[in-house]
Chains A and B, each alone.
Chain A
Amino acid sequence: LNKKTTRIGNADDIARHLGRNHLETDPETGKVIGVFNTAFDLKVAKKEKEASVNHLQFFSGETLNQLKSIKADMVNSGYTVGPQSAYSVVRVETVESCGKDSGVSLAVFKRPLEKNRSHAGLRGLPLDNSNAELRERLAQAASRVIFAAAEL
């Protein structure tokens, strides 16, 4: 199979790296309490067609070790992983359900990069980020399991 078209099964998990600007924090304590609904927005100016995520099961071991490997690859590839950023982990099935409930068909495909081997793409998102319900559902799903990047 061509890696570029290999779909990731819905029993697997994906991790989305989120900068501080996508993280909802408690305004009093600064503690991360959720994810904003702009977290899966495509970059319209760059004509992005899919959201970058990472395939957790590409690496073996516990979730924490898988995330550590993903972070190491991302840092190696020159990507900025800020100390206040985080990784949100979501089951592919949940992502697909968010799409279905919002009238959109979503799927995750493997998109390995030379130095970011577990890289994957979430396809099917409206290119103009216009589906407000989908944005909110994805944010709800992404708010459930969040790991601080600094602790990985």
Chain B
Amino acid sequence: MTNAFVAFNSAQSLLKWHPGFKPAPDAPFSSRDYELANVLNQLGTRSEQRPQPPQRPTTVVSPGSDPLGARLFDARGQAKAIAASLSMHLTADWRTKVHRQIDELLEATEWDNDTGILDPRTMRTFLRFVIFADIKAVPSLGLSPAGNMVAAWRRDTRRLTIEFLPDDMCRLAISHFTGDDPSIFTFAGKVTSARSYLQRESFSLE
């Protein structure tokens, strides 16, 4: 396996600089090696063009220490890294208040072992919604038992709660917390449609 790896790399580098290069009959690599290298070269070029997700190290738990604490630590780091990657769209005050709540949510002393740890895909959906809908108001944050990010905002007598799901999906509900109006409005779908839904319901988050 090691030899094959070296052969492909060498051939790949040759083809990179000399695409029309033909090996001499007594060359150490066969024509087949060069064909494979050519294919790998093309695949490599394509994957390099794709945006690669940042590699985040995960905490290695030493024997006798708390594995849950390490998982929560990683989840906190991951959530904040996602927020940092979009920081140019979020105000410093907004980020500070959201980070504080994430720290509280993923505090080990609060954790029930049965609860799912924050799914970073739902954190991404939450932030994409905040940026897309140009939301200035800081929400109250929570987590569903499945590990989905939950956010709530209050306006006049109404409360909006959104559970964010992976792949830009969400479930939202608007209700009156004063108890004098039993009406409840619900919506499920893409966060992009949620924005229009909120506009129709005159629920401003500026």
A residues with CB within 8 A of B: 19-28, 30, 33-34, 36-38, 41-46, 79-80, 82-85, 101, 132-133, 135-137, 139-140, 143-144
Contacts and interface: CB of A to CB of B under 8 A. Distances in A.
Interface in B56-109: 97, 101, 104-105, 107, 109
A-B pairs with the 4 shortest C-beta distances?
A82-B110, A21-B143, A132-B186, A38-B144
A38 B115 CA distance: 12
Contacts of B143: 21, 38
A64 to B, nearest CB: 22
Given A24-B140, A27-B101, A41 B175 contact: no
A37 B112 contact: no
29 contacts: A19-B111, A19-B115, A20-B110, A21-B105, A21-B110, A21-B142, A21-B143, A24-B140, A27-B138, A33-B140, A33-B154, A34-B177, A36-B150, A37-B163, A37-B173, A38-B145, A38-B163, A41-B145, A79-B112, A82-B107, A84-B107, A84-B110, A101-B182, A132-B186, A132-B188, A133-B184, A136-B184, A139-B175, A140-B175
Interface string B136-153: 001111111110101010
Interface of B is mostly: mixed
A26 B152 CA distance: 10
A80 B104 contact: no
Interface residues of B, number: 38
A33 to B, nearest CB: 7
B184 A36 contact: no
B161 interface: yes
Given A24-B142, A37-B161, A82 B109 contact: yes
Nearest to B159: A34
